[in-house]
A and B are shown apart, each in its own frame.
Chain A
Amino acid sequence: MVDALVRSLTCPQCGATLTVRAGDHTVTVVCSHCNSILDAKDPSLKVLQRFAAKQLVPQYIPLGARGRWRGTMWEVIGFQVRTIRVQGIDYSWGEYLLFNPYEGFRYLTQYNGHWNDVIVLKTVPKVYKARATGAKPQAVVLGETFQHFQTATATTTQVVGEFPWTVRVGDKVDVSDYVDPPRILSSESTAGETTWSMGEYVTGDRIWQAYELPGSPPDPIGVYANQPAPYPGSLGRVWQAFAAFLGVLLLAAVWRFGLSPHAVVYEHVYQYVPPATPPSDSEAAAAALVTDTFTLNGRTSALELTTETNLDNSWAYFAFALINDSTGTTYDFGREVAYYDGRDVDGYWSEGSTRDRVLIPSVPSGRYYVRVQPEGPPGGTFRAFTYRLRLRRDVPWGMAYLLAFVLLAVPPAFVLLRSMTFEHTRWQESDYSDTGDDE
């Protein structure tokens, strides 16, 4: 920095010492002791305005602070607060004026913990009016298209430090913001003059690091106009990855459900005649039977047992035991089949099923048979029913595919929902919010 530019002045209003850091660039300087805006170009420092101080926005970076920002040393020489009123509510943000004798000026703005690094544009963007209902006006500059976000009248409500223009509390400008996150394009118009500036969203941490500020930056509140969306650029790629995973899942399902043999290793039809009265345990066990032995080949895999009955308005319970004929290893489980139907005032109804299907997990190869102990409502031959047992080897578990689909879909759905919520919140603060805050 060039310290030769720094000079001291004395406030003609209160006698306080003022420091001017930008040399001849400074047009007005503010005495923070008596809140007087002085004409820095006037040898007698004419008082341009006196104003009542009010702290609408905290000043986080002190005047005179120097920080290395984007490779250049920038000194904070001024701070102003500007306010817009929307639906009767004032919204204020702070603007830090940075100065480098070789680079000129740039700004850091802060609103609710959201920071932007702003430079004044030398190029005038092209503005296009909205071409259709619901569309937004656009501004194009340097090949980048920005969507109109908000237009409002901003009033300068607090100033401190020095400025390269004649600043006054109460100054009003029409501000239009256009966004293309993480950048924001702003026009400030007064009678006969429009200034365009470009801002880029930066984190408070970077500001704190650059200016070696104590503590930590305030947490951002809400979503700012040009705040980058979460998962930047990830949404499309995550959905592409989901499509790829889905393709793999579908191929696997087609192969397993359509092309795998699922060989039937045993099938037989039996009849069960329940006793006329509820049986004792030993009587029920006496009804048990065993199937012929069958061979399960190949790797350890699932064994599907299907039980098809001719039940009608009745139920059956089967105590199954899959038994390895060589080792005696047993797999005990019970299945229930029940089917009821009829007619009532609402017409035909039915519930349950005459068929049951179950997958016995991880059955090693070997010779097996099944012990079956059927039970049903007592009633003798009147309640007799037939049932077909069918055993198939290496049958896929359909629910696993459904579960995999859901598990694969959850993250993309979450990212999409989060992005949509984020964008909705962003535009709620704009002229296009669905709460209709046009004024």
Chain B
Amino acid sequence: MSTIRLYLLYGGLVLSLLGAAEYRGWSPLSPTEGKTAPKTVRDNPGAYRPHYRGGAYYFRGK
């Protein structure tokens, strides 16, 4: 296959991937997805335990 044909195929693939990423709303963020949030979260937000726990770092800063 000639270089130009190969590049046209490759470029088409790149733009198609971009289109798919835009259409489906892809992004590099990987949130932890679950289905366990009880209906009571709205009434008692503090009772919810997130699946993700990055954690705050106390006693830091400049």
A interface residues, Cβ below 8 angstroms from B: 231, 234, 237-238, 241-242, 245, 248-249, 252, 256, 278, 282, 284-290, 299-303, 313-315, 317, 319, 321-325, 327-334, 336, 338, 340, 342, 358-363, 369, 371, 373, 375-378, 394, 396-397, 399-401, 404, 407-408, 411-412, 415
How far is it, in angstroms, between the C-alpha of A314 and the C-alpha of B7 when the chains are bound?
49
- Kindly report which residue of chain A lies nearest to residue B24, judged by CB atoms: A362
**Which residues of chain B in 45-62 are interfacial with respect to chain A, using CB atoms and an 8 Å cutoff?**
45-62
Distance in angstroms from A99 CB to nearest chain B CB is 38
* Cβ proximity bits B8-42 to A, threshold 8 Å, 1 near / 0 not: 10110011011101111111111111111111011
B interface residues, Cβ below 8 angstroms from A: 2-4, 7-8, 10-11, 14-15, 17-19, 21-39, 41-42, 45-62
Give the dominant DSSP class at A's interface: mixed
| Between-chain CB contacts (< 8 Å), 21 pairs | A234-B3, A234-B4, A256-B22, A285-B48, A288-B46, A289-B45, A302-B25, A303-B25, A322-B31, A330-B33, A331-B32, A332-B32, A332-B51, A332-B52, A340-B62, A342-B62, A358-B29, A359-B25, A377-B58, A408-B15, A412-B7
Cβ-defined partner of B53 (8 Å) among A303, A334, A377: A334
Distance in angstroms from A396 CB to nearest chain B CB is 6
User: Does the CB pair A361–B27 fall under 8 Å?
Assistant: yes
A-B contact sample (5 more), CB < 8 A, given A238-B7, A323-B37: A300-B25, A301-B24, A360-B29, A361-B29, A412-B7
**Contact status of A328 and B35, CB under 8 A, knowing A238-B4, A290-B41:** yes
User: Does the CB pair A319–B31 fall under 8 Å?
Assistant: no
Distance in angstroms from A3 CB to nearest chain B CB is 45
- Kindly report which residue of chain A lies nearest to residue B51, judged by CB atoms: A332
Distance in angstroms from A353 CB to nearest chain B CB is 15
How far is it, in angstroms, between the C-alpha of A301 and the C-alpha of B21 when the chains are bound?
9
How far is it, in angstroms, between the C-alpha of A328 and the C-alpha of B33 when the chains are bound?
10
How far is it, in angstroms, between the C-alpha of A415 and the C-alpha of B10 when the chains are bound?
14
User: Does the CB pair A332–B25 fall under 8 Å?
Assistant: no
Cβ-defined partner of A319 (8 Å) among B2, B30, B42, B50: B50
- Kindly report which residue of chain A lies nearest to residue B45, judged by CB atoms: A288
User: Does the CB pair B26–A329 fall under 8 Å?
Assistant: no
Complex interface: chain B residues within 8 A of A314 (CB): 61
Distance in angstroms from A339 CB to nearest chain B CB is 10
User: Does the CB pair A234–B2 fall under 8 Å?
Assistant: yes
User: Does the CB pair A317–B55 fall under 8 Å?
Assistant: yes
Cβ-defined partner of B25 (8 Å) among A285, A286, A361, A373: A361
User: Does the CB pair B31–A286 fall under 8 Å?
Assistant: no
How far is it, in angstroms, between the C-alpha of A334 and the C-alpha of B10 when the chains are bound?
36
Distance in angstroms from A259 CB to nearest chain B CB is 13
How far is it, in angstroms, between the C-alpha of A97 and the C-alpha of B2 when the chains are bound?
35
User: Does the CB pair A333–B52 fall under 8 Å?
Assistant: yes
How far is it, in angstroms, between the C-alpha of A373 and the C-alpha of B53 when the chains are bound?
11
Complex interface: chain B residues within 8 A of A401 (CB): 18
